[in-house]
């Protein structure tokens, strides 16, 4: 667990142990049931979350802000141009100042090292809302969704198809923590970082790596994909579109996993990494997955701040 003066941070999914992961997921399920029943769960009444955004967002902003409201607290949006960070203030100064005002900070930034520096100087919990290397909050929602769909993690198999990006890297580590049998199918040169695969193995996982999407998805319970062109990679579009030919999650690919749930962290580029008819099919759980960002993050925040 990453700590600063005994403060718990959540910068990567591996900042949770297996037992802590189960605790957070069970709490998320409890919050979800409470919301469905219309029950009050204002466990963070009077507390404030500062939200720093260098990258734009739909799901991250709305789920954190709504989550804090439902927990009885308050969230403050801080765009890069709204605070001195966008005018050259050192991260460590922003971190120490915000720590005097708010009870926790969520930051969505480009460089992973920036959120590590922010956490180093913070005296309140810091949550990684996304960096170029990791998206652990998404993984919490992913695992909550799989837990709901499969009734747990025992015996569950999953396939990642597409780019070995930040979402993929966190998912690889999350599957290792949860005990999910994972196969990763990426084109040559676009795979998950070797260091991430090694960390997954150290956690007890054994991710299989292939360049064959059909082989990856055959008989699995879950198929997961994400965009081929992430923010900041727009100038690589033509090269990437050529490289990812054959990696689209489409009806013909699903024939090899007829019972599989299909996941996507959204936003989806329909017609590229996934077809419109698959997103709209009975296989798709992408909107359950999106909703679960709310419940998983509420659970995470209440756990970090208890």
Query: Same structural domain for residues 249 and 282?
Result: yes
* 3 within some domain: no
Residues 159 and 148 in one domain: yes
Q: Is residue 168 part of a domain?
A: yes
- Look at residue 211 and tell me if it is in a domain: yes
Whether residue 57 is annotated as binding a ligand: the answer is yes
Classify residue 71 as left (phi > 0), alpha (psi -120 to 50) or beta.
Answer: alpha
The residue among 277, 223, 288, 301 whose CA lies nearest residue 59 is 288
Q: Are residues 108 and 195 in the same domain?
A: no
- Tell me, yes or no, whether 183 lies in a domain: yes
278 shares a domain with 164 = yes
pTM of the shown model: 0.96
Note whether residue 232 is domain-resident: yes
Query: Do both 48 and 165 map to the same domain?
Result: no
CATH number of the domain to which 265 belongs = 3.40.50.1370
Classify residue 237: in a domain, yes or no: yes
Domain limits for position 72: 9-134+293-299
Residue 2 covered by a domain: no
Question: For residue 7, what pLDDT is reported?
Answer: 95
Taking the CA atoms of 251, 253, 255 and 258 in sequence, report the sign of the dihedral they define: negative
Low pLDDT (below 50) residues in the chain:
1-4
Q: Per the domain annotation, does 1 fall within a domain? A: no
Q: Which amino acids are annotated catalytic?
A: 108, 135, 138, 226, 265, 293
pLDDT at 85: 67
192 in the same domain as 124: no
Do residues 186 and 111 share a domain?
A: no
Let me know whether 252 and 282 are in one domain: yes
Query: Is there a single domain that holds both residue 78 and residue 175?
Result: no
Residue 84 known to bind ligand: yes
284 is in an annotated binding site: no
Same domain, 56 and 145: no
Question: Is 94 annotated to bind ligand?
Answer: no
Quote the number of domains for the chain: 2
- Please check if 58 is assigned to a binding site: yes
Per residue in 131-170, pLDDT (tens digit) is: 999 999 999 999 999 999 999 999 999 999 999 999 999 9
Residues 107, 142, single domain; the answer is: no
285 shares a domain with 154:
yes
Predicted confidence at residue 80, as pLDDT, reads 81
């Amino acid at each position: 667990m990453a700590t600063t003066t005994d403060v718990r941070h959540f910068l990567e999914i591996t900042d949770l142990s297996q037992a802590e992961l189960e605790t957070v997921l069970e709490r998320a399920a409890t919050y979800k049931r409470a919301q469905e029943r219309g029950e009050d769960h204002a466990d963070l009444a009077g507390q404030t979350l500062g939200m720093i955004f260098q990258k734009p967002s739909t799901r991250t902003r709305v789920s954190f802000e709504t989550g804090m409201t439902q927990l009885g607290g308050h969230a403050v949006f801080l765009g890069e141009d709204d605070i001195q960070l966008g005018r050259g203030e050192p991260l460590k100064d922003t971190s120490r100042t915000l720590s005097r005002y708010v009870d926790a900070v969520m930051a969505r930034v480009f460089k992973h090292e920036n959120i590590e520096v922010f956490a180093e100087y913070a005296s309140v919990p810091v949550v990684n809302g996304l960096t170029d290397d990791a998206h652990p909050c998404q993984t919490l929602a992913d695992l909550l969704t799989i837990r709901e769909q499969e009734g747990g993690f025992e015996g569950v198999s999953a396939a990642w198809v597409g780019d070995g990006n930040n979402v993929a890297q966190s998912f690889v580590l999350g599957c290792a923590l949860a005990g999910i049998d994972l196969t990763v199918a990426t084109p040559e040169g676009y795979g998950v970082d070797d260091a991430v695969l090694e960390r997954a193995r150290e956690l007890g996982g054994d991710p299989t790596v292939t360049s064959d999407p059909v082989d990856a998805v055959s008989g699995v319970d879950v198929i997961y994909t994400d965009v081929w062109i992430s923010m900041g990679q727009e100038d690589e579009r033509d090269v990437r579109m050529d490289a990812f030919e054959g990696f689209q999650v489409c009806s013909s690919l699903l024939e090899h996993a007829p019972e599989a749930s299909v996941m996507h962290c959204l936003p989806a580029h329909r017609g590229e990494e996934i077809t419109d008819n698959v997103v709209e099919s009975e296989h798709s759980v992408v909107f359950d997955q999106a909703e679960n960002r709310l419940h998983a993050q509420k659970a995470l925040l209440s756990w970090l701040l208890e």
